[in-house]
Each structure stands twice: as structure tokens, then as C-alpha cells.
Structure 1
């Protein structure tokens, strides 16, 4: 189903003048589903309302030559995030970063994807999923019964099957994601659950069939992460990490260099 319920997202964006704000506003207004954009040069923040995927908004801002960090989505206690990792280690090849010209899709960092969730109504949550550095093909995105990643995807259990309005299939089935030859894929969809229901569960993206009832295996086609709460639009005002003393942009640079989306 297409996402039709608008929601708010807030991004930190480096801007030096009103011209920067105007460039970003014009770029975002070209995205389908955007209804409102407010760029604040003083606070280095861009607020966006509409039905566009947060990942698409980040890409549009980056296309103007500026970076963007999502600071919050939706109202308090209505957003979640899952960092997807692979628990499979290839030992037969020398891996190279995803996106390197002329090289394979293999990414040496365990992080292979990111999932953002925003509850936009009492019965609807939007899911913005992006993966990178995995083999091309059709993948199934699922919420698992447990959040136990002691043994990676293998210990996360079957697909989440709590009672709900799903027409007979497990509620944890989110949909499919098509990954291209460059190892990149994304999906933006909505599902009938509330964010609090899935906090602590694992989320997996895999090409495995699972029709035989066997648990997921930790192969190179499978990435998984635990779903955790994330900040609402005005819940996160941190600009310096209390642990490292680095600014959010220094942290961002470190993570990007390691392969984080």
C-alpha cells in the first residue's frame, strides 16, 4: 500500500546563508508527497512534512551538495530504528567496499542497512528500509518473533505472528525489496501495527524462502538488527556526544567511512 498519511521529520543540515536554505527548500519541494518545508539557518535544522521517505529526503538534500542527519520523526514514542548487520563472514575472498568502481558488491563492514519506522496513526506505521552491500535479488523483509541475536538471524525466531489485521499471513511480513546489481535496494511502505508492538523484536532482510519451516541461516544474503526506539521530531537536541566529545558531524563522518548509510 502507498503511504498516504503525512508525518513530520527533522534533519540537521549545515547551512551558511539564506541561499542554502532556499536551495534545499526548492530541492525538497520537487519530491512527490512533500507538503511543507521549513529551513532554519540559525539552528541548522530542516523540518519536512509530507509522505516522502526520510531516505529520499536525505538523498535530495545531499544532491544540493550538503549532508543531512535525521534528528527525529513523528511524535514522541512513535518512531523506531533498526541497524541491519550480517553475521556471515566470507573467508574465501578479499572484500572491497560497496560502490567501489569495478569491484564487487561485498562490503567489509558488518552494517549493511538501516530501517526507520514512524507511526502515523493509531493503526498505521510507515517503514523506510534501505540496504547496501548485499547480493542482487529479491529479498523478504520480516519482523521476527524475538530480539535475540546471540546467534544472529538463527536465534531471532520465526516471523512475528501476533494477532492483528493481516488477512491470514503473519503480521511480521513487511514486503519485498529488490536489490540491483550495485548491491543497493530500498522500500517505503506502510503496515498495520503500532511502534510499541515491535520494539525489541528483530528485523531481518533475507533471500531465504523459509517455506520449509527451518530457521533463518546466517548467510551472505541475510542481514538482521534489533528494533529500538528513536527520537521524535523535537526529542533529540544533542549536538555533542557525551561519550566521545565529538560533534554529530564528526560522528557522521566516522560512520560513513565505515560503510553506514
Structure 2
């Protein structure tokens, strides 16, 4: 059984009834242990084993949006934004992987794809973080040489099945630590082997550290002056999940 971890979300809350509505929706999910809220801070905190993407969906079902503000302890969370390098695609962002190390050497991964063709997609962590030429410049599968066979390498994260609507998701755990994969790249594709051609359904991204719970209390970006909700609207329009 996976250890529980804490996740915090910014949610527009105007009254105690809002908190009750969101809490009721969240507690219907499998894996939710506790839900708490702060009206002044406009934050919802959840402890459990439910995927962050499922939590967002549950909050959105109440008519409110949600922005992930932090997961797990400090230095135990990571994120990977997946993009296609195909020039035929207008909105290049097509996926997201959220990662939390819930115990030493155990990391959960919440992977979501949107706007790609139906089919089975292989998910692998690569040797380098070079995505300058898309999947072709990322190197081999991480840990494949040490493991002897690519299929048993730490860098094989399994697969995602995408339906006819172009949406797919998977929630799984791997025996790795966040520190092992920071700075490496992820390739999500129906292709295998050497990526000698780019297509709209081959996605790449670099794994970067993400904020732990209570590490990120930003409400206005110091660079643009935009609120987190204005940034959220812009990123959603670009295809961010």
C-alpha cells in the first residue's frame, strides 16, 4: 500500500458553503484520507493517495477551478510538461506528468495526455535532458545499460492508453527517487527505438523540481504582474492540463 502524501491546491472560495461543496466532492474519491481548507488563503489541502489529476477533476465538478500549489515534502516533487516538436501542431503542449516521492525510493507518477491520436503510448525516461531535437537528442533509456535489458530499466515507466477523444491518463508508482531523475528528459510516443522522425504524437519534456506542500504561496507573478488565475487561463488556452 502506498504511503499517503499531502497536496495543496489554490481554489476560489467565497464562503463556508464553498468549502463544504468541494470537500463533499473530494471525499467521494478513492484514496482521500483528509480534506482541510483555508478561506483566507483560498487553499485546499488533501492527504491521501488519490492522483492530483483526479483531485482537480473533482474540484472542477463543483464549478470551481484548481491550481496545484505543492505536493509532498520539500525536494520530493517534480513535474514534466510534455510537448511535441512537430511543426504541424499549433498548441505544442499535450501532456503533463506530476511526480511525488512518497517514501524513500518510492515515487508516484500522475500522467495525463490530451489532444493526441488514439493508441498505446510508451513512456520512458532518457539518459539526458537534451530535447533540442525532440526525442532524437534525448539519448537512450535511462538505466538500460546497467539493467542489461531496456524492458527492465528504471527508465521504463510503462504505457498510457489514449481513447478516441484524445485523452489518456495513468497513475502508478516506481522504485526510484526524485533526485535520480531531475534534469533528465521523458519521451512519450507510439514509436520505439531510434526516433529518427518527429510526429505530432511524439512528446518530450524535461523533468524539473516542483514545489512541495506550503513551498509556494505566490499569488502574483513577480515577472509579469499577472495573478495565478490569469496565468492559469493563458496556460489552459495553450493546452496545459
> How does the TM-score come out when normalised to structure 2?
0.95
Partner residue of 2:219 out of 239, 247, 256: 239
Partner residue of 2:78 out of 62, 77, 80: 80
Q: Is the CA contact 2:10–2:44 (under 8 Å) kept in the aligned structure 1?
A: yes
The residue aligned with 1:150 is 132
1:170-209 superposed matches below 5 A: 170-209=153-192
- Structure 2 residue 96 is matched with structure 1 residue 114: yes
Provide the secondary structure at the position in 2 that maps to 1:152. strand
5+ residue gaps, structure 2: none
| CA deviation after TM superposition for structure 1 residue 217, in Å | 3.5
5+ residue gaps, structure 1: 91-106
Q: Is the CA contact 2:85–2:134 (under 8 Å) kept in the aligned structure 1?
A: yes
> How does the TM-score come out when normalised to structure 1?
0.88
Q: Is the CA contact 2:141–2:150 (under 8 Å) kept in the aligned structure 1?
A: no
- Give a deviation string over 1:113-166, Cα, whole Å, max 9, x none: 1110000011200000111111100011111111001111110011111657x9
The residue aligned with 1:104 is none
The residue aligned with 2:228 is 248
Q: Provide the aligned C-alpha RMSD in A.
A: 1.6
The residue aligned with 1:140 is 122
| CA deviation after TM superposition for structure 1 residue 168, in Å | 6.9
- Structure 2 residue 143 is matched with structure 1 residue 161: yes
- Give a deviation string over 1:173-208, Cα, whole Å, max 9, x none: 001100011111111000010001000000111101
Runs of 4+ more than 4 Å apart? none
> More strand per residue: 1 or 2?
2
Q: How many residues align?
A: 239
